[in-house]
């Protein structure tokens, strides 16, 4: 009987994620897309993956919490990408503000680029992004092999280059997508 109870407890601890009892993994979140839209502009990103690497550490993070990078590619093979750095992945299930610095554990926008309609787009870091990013099913600070679901909603300003014309465009970013972990591959 004791062996069965121990086995059950080990199984539950390996499948549960947090104190609320939620399970690890993206559930039914699709691989993409995350949409970035403005009038006459649509950029879609898919195949998001995460990797811990301490690229944007939060000095106030508890011991053992390592920052997490999340990357995705623009659909259609144009070479566009998006990259976020999460200083406090242990708080991502509570939601993090989109930002451009590590202030108060913001989800930092590092790169947001793409091609559409003959124009190139690149992240304009002079205009702070707004919005939130939240994870569900996130375990082991985003490094669990099951991955997690990422829900993002906000606005990011991109520099648009169309030939010799350069301007800025604010895109609405939205989507709930599965994120795979590269820590366990």
Distance of CA 140 to the CA centre of its chain: 15
Sign, Cα dihedral of 126, 127, 132, 134 = negative
Q: What is the pLDDT of residue 19?
A: 42
CA distances from 132 to 10, 15, 23, 154 (A): 34, 27, 22, 6
The full set of domain ranges for the chain reads 2-181
Question: Would the pLDDT of 86 be above 60?
Answer: yes
Please state the rounded mean pLDDT for residues 98-116.
85
Please state the rounded mean pLDDT for residues 142-154.
96
Please state the rounded mean pLDDT for residues 160-171.
96
pLDDT band at 77 (very low <50, low <70, confident <90, very high): confident
Among 32-46, 51-65, 115-129, which stretch is predicted with the lowest mean pLDDT? 51-65
**Token digits of residue 172:** 């609405």
- Note whether 16 and 9 are within 8 A (CB): no
3-state secondary structure the chain: CHHHHHHHHHHHHHHECCCCCCECCCCCCCCCCEEEEECCEEEEEEEEEEEECCCCCCCCCCCCCCCEEEEEEECCCCCCEEEEEECCHHHHHHCEEEECCCHHHCEEEEEECEEECCEEEEECCCCCCEEEEEEECCCHHHCCCCCEEEEEEEEEEEEEEECCEEEEEEEEEEEEEEEEECCCC
Q: What is the pLDDT of residue 62?
A: 92
Average pLDDT, the chain: 87
Please state the rounded mean pLDDT for residues 92-98.
94
Q: What is the pLDDT of residue 102?
A: 58
Cis peptide leading into residue 140 (ω within 30°): no
Give the percent of the chain with pLDDT over 90. 72
Question: Would the pLDDT of 131 be above 70?
Answer: yes
């Amino acid at each position: 009987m004791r062996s069965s109870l121990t086995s059950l407890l080990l199984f539950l601890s390996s499948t549960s994620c947090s104190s609320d009892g939620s399970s690890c993994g993206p559930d039914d979140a699709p691989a993409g897309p995350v949409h970035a839209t403005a009038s006459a502009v649509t950029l879609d990103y898919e195949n998001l993956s995460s990797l811990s690497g301490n690229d944007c550490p939060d000095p106030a993070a508890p011991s053992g919490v390592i920052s997490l990078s999340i990357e995705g590619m623009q659909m259609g093979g144009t070479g566009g990408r998006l990259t976020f750095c999460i200083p406090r992945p242990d708080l991502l299930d509570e939601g993090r503000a989109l930002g451009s610095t590590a202030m108060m554990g913001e989800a930092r926008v590092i790169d947001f680029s793409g091609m559409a309609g003959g124009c190139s787009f690149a992240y304009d870091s002079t205009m702070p992004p707004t919005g939130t990013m939240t994870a569900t099913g996130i375990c082991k600070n985003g490094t669990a092999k099951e991955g997690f679901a990422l829900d993002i909603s906000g606005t990011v300003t991109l520099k648009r280059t169309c030939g010799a014309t350069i301007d800025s465009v604010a895109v609405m970013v939205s989507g709930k997508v599965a994120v795979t972990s590269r820590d366990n591959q």
